[in-house]
Amino acid sequence: SPIAVKKICCIGAGYVGGPTMAMIAKQCPHIQVTVVDINQQRIDEWNSEELPIYEPGLHEIVSECRGKNLTFTTDVDETIRDADMVFISVNTPTKTFGVGAGRAANLEFVEKCARKIAEVSIGHKIVVEKSTLPVRTAEAVKTILSNSTTGASFDVLSNPEFLAEGTAVEDLISPDRVLIGGENETAINALVEVYANWVPRERLLTTNLWSSELSKLTANAFLAQRVSSINAISALCEATGADVDEVSTAIGTDSRIGPKFLKASVGFGGSCFQKDILNLVYLCEYFGLPEVAQYWEQVVTMNDHQKQRFVNRMVRTMFNTVSDKRIAIWGFAFKKDTNDIRESAAIYVCRDLLMEKAKLAIYDPQVKPEQMRAALESVMQDENGELNAMKRELLDNNVQYCDNGAAAADDAHAIAVLTEWDEFKDCDFEAIRDSMKQPAFVFDGRNLLKHADLCDKGFTYFGIGF
């Protein structure tokens, strides 16, 4: 008979742990869900009215379940000991040091979790890999757990998360699929029964451990590859008079290609695409497959090129100099409806514009100025983590943080749209044009605004890929 899970512990209260556990708590009132983290501030925020992450609909779910069957705490040991099932949902960033630096995943935090579970557990536990991990990590997790000296026993499952930020709640309510990899039927079924509380059974896919681990990296690699593919074509469109949005529509109607994820942009960002592809590249090299590694690496190379191309086009168009020119930056998040700026294209575009000595006036509806400042500082540091005097001066004197798009555009030579926030579409563009230097340039890195309308209103408008 299947194990009925009654208590879940999730290690890691981040963008994945927080929302996924809130959804399990909402859909499974009979399960006690506790999210633990070593970061006290994060836990305090989850327990406050201002959650650490912004996701439409998340606040409502957390408010509904918190204090009932959803708890956030730093009491890691006790919560693990008490649980039947433990999710590992900690960060797996790209390694910045040693072997595989700049490519391999840093598994330090995952290993620490496995060791902690081995140390404090009693009885039987199902350990679930929720973090995105290189294929064969479960092997290491199993080895560490098997060295537990408490007499506890373990099953290890892989259950990667496919939610996208900004739509986390929607994605969790009705996922395209839930993937569960494992070796032991009873353990697999225990997790299947948790999800079956709200996900139709035909969407619960079970596989072996390695397929599950590898499917997550592969899914992200394919998604990012589509963006890089259409972005590559956007460059050719700009050179030839084709329009990339028309090309997207034309190819997307082929049901074998499909319409989604074909939006040309200033480049993909986010904490995962680049990290996961580089991890895949590293794995291919590790397993002696250099041609396969090079194939996937091009997806990241193309993305870097797209960000550079955007800045180059701005500089060239604005008479080959942006020095001392005020440029409004609309949006800093890596996509709309999130406050996440990790690997956002905006960071690199702003850095390159600052190095051209432009004066930036940045506005994002969800990102705090101190977040933006920290990201820019970190991307401008040298390899010793230091900022030279020139760069510090640029950061101090050439960056202003504004309260809205119009304020940022006031007296500016150009607007650069870097995030597709809906509110940018509804601006009073006549007033904005009048407040700007002429010609009033718009560089729309998201093809968000209405091209013809802005041209009618007297802007000199450039999008991506036309």
Q: Catalog residues that contact ligand UGA under the rule CB under 6 A.
A: 132, 161-165, 220, 223, 227, 261-263, 265, 268-270, 272-273, 334-335
Under a CB-based contact definition with an 8 Å cutoff, are residues 444 and 463 in contact? yes
Residues in contact with ligand NAD by CB under 6 A are: 11-17, 36-39, 42, 76, 89-92, 109, 112-113, 131-132, 161, 163, 165, 271-272
**Residue 255, Cβ neighbours under 10 Å: how many?**
7
User: In terms of CB distance, is 187 or 266 closer to ligand UGA?
Assistant: 266
Least distance from C-beta 37 to ligand NAD, angstroms? 4
Least distance from C-beta 234 to ligand UGA, angstroms? 10
User: In terms of CB distance, is 3 or 120 closer to ligand NAD?
Assistant: 120
Q: Measured between alpha carbons, how far is 61 from 157 in angstroms, rounded to an integer?
A: 26
Does 402 participate in catalysis according to the annotation? no
DSSP 428: -
Alpha helix segments (H runs only) across 287-344: 290-317
Catalytically annotated residue among 28, 65, 272, 284: 272
The binder of 65, among ligand UGA, ligand NAD, none, by C-beta within 5 to 8 A per type, is none
Residue 344, amino acid: S
User: In terms of CB distance, is 132 or 159 closer to ligand UGA?
Assistant: 132
DSSP-derived 3-state class of residue 343? coil
The binder of 89, among ligand UGA, ligand NAD, none, by C-beta within 5 to 8 A per type, is ligand NAD
Under a CB-based contact definition with an 8 Å cutoff, are residues 103 and 97 in contact? no
The binder of 268, among ligand NAD, ligand UGA, none, by C-beta within 5 to 8 A per type, is ligand UGA
DSSP-derived 3-state class of residue 87? strand
The binder of 408, among ligand NAD, ligand UGA, none, by C-beta within 5 to 8 A per type, is none
Query: What sign does the CA torsion over 391, 397, 398, 402 have?
Result: positive
User: In terms of CB distance, is 19 or 405 closer to ligand NAD?
Assistant: 19
Which among 68, 72, 57, 94 is positioned nearest to 21, based on CA atoms? Answer: 72
Q: Measured between alpha carbons, how far is 140 from 137 in angstroms, rounded to an integer?
A: 5
Residue 49 tokens, joined: 């009215």
Least distance from C-beta 416 to ligand UGA, angstroms? 15
Q: Which active-site residues does the annotation give?
A: 272
> Which amino acids are annotated as binding site for substrate, given as ranges?
161-165, 216-220, 256, 263-269, 334-335, 446
